[in-house]
Amino acid sequence: MIVMKFGGTSVANAEAIVRTISIVKGRLDRKPVIVVSALSKVTDLLYRISDSAEARDRKTADGYIDALAERHTALARELLQGSPLCDEACAKVTEICGELRDFVGAVCSLGELTDRSKARIISRGEWLSSNIICHAMNARGIVTHFMDAREMIITSDTYMKGEPDMSEISRRVPEVVAEAYEGADAVITQGFMASTLKGETTVLGRGGSDYSASLIGMALDAERIEIWTDVDGVRTADPRIVPNTRNISRISFEEAAEMAHFGAKVLHPMTIEPAVMKNIPVYVLNSMNPEGEGTAILQNDRIEDGVKSVSYKENILLLNIFSTRMINVSGFLQKVFAIFSRYKVSVDLISTSEANISLTMDGNQDIDEVVKALSEFAEVDVDRDKAQISVIGKNIVNLRGLLKQTMTSLKDCNVYMISQGASFVNISFVVDRASMQNAVREVHKYLFEDRDYESGDQRIR
Ligand code: ADP
Ligand code: ASP
Ligand code: MG
């Protein structure tokens, strides 16, 4: 069995979906389990719907729901023109959007939007896309059975970022898939969407469909997990901000996990973890160029050493904690981290000096409580104008001169913190947000563009 996950751009419109279906058709002999995201930009629209509901602005929310219904109905019509399944697919869209309208109406009158309600709203994109694509596949002669991800992907009740219950998932996925596969050529389910044990809808965090695919792959002990997206694979940097990036043909699980964790949006940060548990290769492939080689993410010992990629995080928080009391006092760090742990705030980078601890973390996290608790025994300074750049590669610690070369390319900006991961897979720098884009380009240029990457002739000396 293989898992094939198609992201938003791979299912953005009828043309993309037809292409996606033909890719699946070429893999039917490998028993694909298809995982789909919402159509491109639909989750953003659902966020706007939930914001309007929270603001009790029913008129705006209704306008957005009309647009949602129109886009999906038009898509179903285009894909299913002339098919007896067309009416059924359109009726399903009307039913889902109608339920959403009622639910949003109730939230507006209540005037309170809990995370539980929000997860219900923003998961509707995957519910809509998977229904339409399932019909479109059946209409094209591929007998495809539909699975509700909530019956198999079980998470904690942190509704907007559910933590997977690995043992429930491992038990349920094979059962649900085996049952759905009876008499079918393929089976399809939703990415991103999950459920608590009590059956309440949760989601896996933005970009979470990749994670759904790898959880399913793990539970099925799949032969491979394919992440189909809109780029030719994992690249040396984000092609949206860096010109002249190159495709990486193979990287290790560890490198891919670090890249994703340190900002490369091509994969959800948690995608690699389940794959590693069963040593399942993950392929990143381009649905617009299905013949392309893509990137293979494999076990560490099959990957050569060296710099692979530069990633960045634009929205980070730099927290500086000052206290003379930490000098020579054991237990200070423990006290600090107990606070982060209590409020479930996770930290990326850390560096300490005698009377100061600097930490970076994702800027979307709510840290008010953490700052309050820390302020009881230390001076705390929060800086939101910083960004983080990470150079990633296996055993980069062995590349003499890497730090010097990277620092040379960062010569035009202030560097507030440098941190080398204990895993020797990444070195990260904190710079001003305003200079980040240019700095990423410079670092990339220095490390990749001025050397012959294919022959492995690294510029680093
Ligand atoms: P999908 O909707 O298929 O999940 P995403 O937009 O989440 O697609 O991820 C693919 C995008 O990730 C690419 O279009 C690219 O702009 C971005 N990206 C960021 N860093 C990298 C990288 N190092 N390699 C490839 N793509 C990257
Ligand atoms: N649709 C969700 C999002 O946009 C999940 C995903 O695409 O992976 O975040
Ligand atoms: Mg994605």
CATH number at residue 81: 3.40.1160.10
Q: Are 184 and 145 in contact (CB under 8 A)?
A: yes
Asked if residue 305 is part of any domain, the answer here is no
- Measured over the CA atoms of residue 439, residue 441, residue 443 and residue 445, the dihedral's sign is negative
17 Cβ contact list (under 8 Å, min separation 6): 11, 75, 79, 132, 133, 136
Tokens of 295: 């990137």
What is the crossing angle of helices 86-110 and 58-80, to 10°?
170
Q: Rounded distance, CA 16 to CA 13, Å?
A: 5
Closest by CA position to 204, among listed 272, 112, 269? 269
The token duo for 459 is: 């510029």
List, in sequence order, the alpha helices (H) in 309-458: 332-342, 368-375, 402-409, 433-444
Report the candidate in 65, 81, 112 with the shortest Cα–Cα distance to residue 14.
Answer: 81
Instruction: Please state the rounded mean pLDDT for residues 62-85.
Output: 97
| Inter-axis angle of helices 14-25 and 58-80, nearest 10 | 50
Cβ 229 under 6 angstroms from ligand 1: yes
Which of these ranges, 43-57, 138-152, 394-408, has the smallest mean pLDDT? 394-408
Q: Alpha-carbon torsion 250, 254, 260, 262, what sign?
A: negative
Task: For residues 143 and 181, give the distance between their C-alpha atoms in angstroms, rounded to a whole number.
Answer: 10
Answer whether residue 214 is part of any domain.
yes
Residue 403 lies in a domain: no
Q: Is 164 in the pocket of ligand 1 (CB under 6 A)?
A: no
Query: How confident is the model at residue 89, as a pLDDT?
Result: 97
> Is the CB of 229 within 6 Å of ligand 2?
no
231 Cα–ligand 1 center, Å: 7
CA dist., res. 220 & res. 223, Å (int) = 9
Is residue 166 in some structural domain?
A: yes
Distance, CA 268 to ligand 1 centroid (Å)?
10
Tell me what the mean pLDDT of segment 277-290 comes to: 97
| 259 found inside a domain | no
Going by C-alpha positions, the residue among 246, 240, 236, 247 that lies closest to residue 307 is: 236
Ligand whose nearest atom lies closest to the CA of 211: 2
Residue 180: is its pLDDT beyond 80?
Answer: yes
Nearest CA to 309 among 268, 265, 272?
265
Taking the alpha carbons at both ends of the chain, their separation in whole angstroms is 45
Q: Which ligand number lies closest to the CA of residue 213?
A: 2
What number is the average pLDDT over the span 213-240?
97
At residue 256, does pLDDT exceed 60?
Answer: yes
Statement: residue 456 has pLDDT above 70: no
Ligand 1 atom closest to the Cα of residue 229 is 3
Report how far Cα 458 is from the mean position of its chain's Cα atoms: 30
Atom 5 of ligand 2, residue of closest alpha carbon: 207
Q: How far apart are CA 3 and CA 187, in angstroms?
A: 10
Question: Residue 378: CB within 6 Å of ligand 1?
Answer: no
Nearest listed ligand to the Cα of residue 268: 3
Nearest ligand 2 atom to the CA of 8 is: 7
Tokens encoding 261 = 């964790």
From the CA atom positions of the chain, what is the Rg in Å?
23
Is position 43 within any domain? yes
Query: Which ligand 1 atom sits nearest the alpha carbon of residue 239?
Result: 16
How many structural domains is the chain composed of? Answer: 1
Tell me which amino acid residue 145 is. H
Ligand 3 centroid distance, CA of 209 (Å): 7
Residue 64 structure tokens: 């957005």
Question: Pick from 17, 23, 67, 60: which is nearest to 39 by CA?
Answer: 17
Nearest in space to 145 (alpha carbons), one of 159, 128, 133 = 133
* pLDDT, tens digit (0-9, with 9 covering 90-100), for 100-157: 999 999 999 988 899 999 999 999 999 999 999 999 999 999 999 999 999 999 999 9
Host domain of residue 137: 2-230
CB 241 within 8 A of CB 444: no
Q: Does 365 reside within a domain?
A: no
- In ligand 1, the atom with minimum distance to the C-alpha of 235 is 24
The mean-pLDDT minimum among 14-28, 116-130, 268-282, 350-364 falls in 350-364
Task: Choose the weakest-confidence range: 62-76, 209-223, 351-365, 410-424.
Answer: 410-424
Distance CA(216)–CA(176), nearest Å, equals 11
Phi-psi region of 349 (alpha: psi -120 to 50; beta: other; left: phi over 0): beta
Whose C-alpha lies nearest to ligand 1, atom 19?
A: 238
Q: Which of the 8 DSSP states describes residue 268?
A: -
- Ligand 2 centroid to 251 CA: how many Å? 24
pLDDT of the residue at 451: 60
Nearest bound ligand to the CA of residue 10: 1
Nearest to 235 by CA among 256, 261, 253: 256
The yes-or-no verdict on residue 319 having pLDDT over 50 is: yes
Please state, in angstroms and as integers, the Cα–Cα distance from residue 386 to each residue in 115, 260, 306, 352, 409, following that order.
29, 19, 27, 18, 18
- Residue 208 CA: nearest ligand 2 atom is 8
125 CB near ligand 2 (under 6 Å): yes
Q: How is residue 58 written in tokens?
A: 């029913």
Q: Look up residue 157 and give its two tokens.
A: 């009740």
pLDDT in tens, 81-102: 999 999 999 999 999 999 999 9
Tokens of 78: 């285009």
Cα of 436 from ligand 3 centre, angstroms? 22
So what's the pLDDT on residue 461? 34
The answer on pLDDT for 268 being more than 90 is yes
**Distant-in-sequence, close-in-space partners of 308: CB < 8 Å, separation ≥ 6:** 236, 248, 251, 255, 259, 392, 393, 394
pLDDT at 404 over 70: yes
- Give a yes or no: residue 445 inside a domain: no
Q: What is the C-alpha to C-alpha distance for residues 232 and 285, in angstroms, rounded to an integer?
A: 6
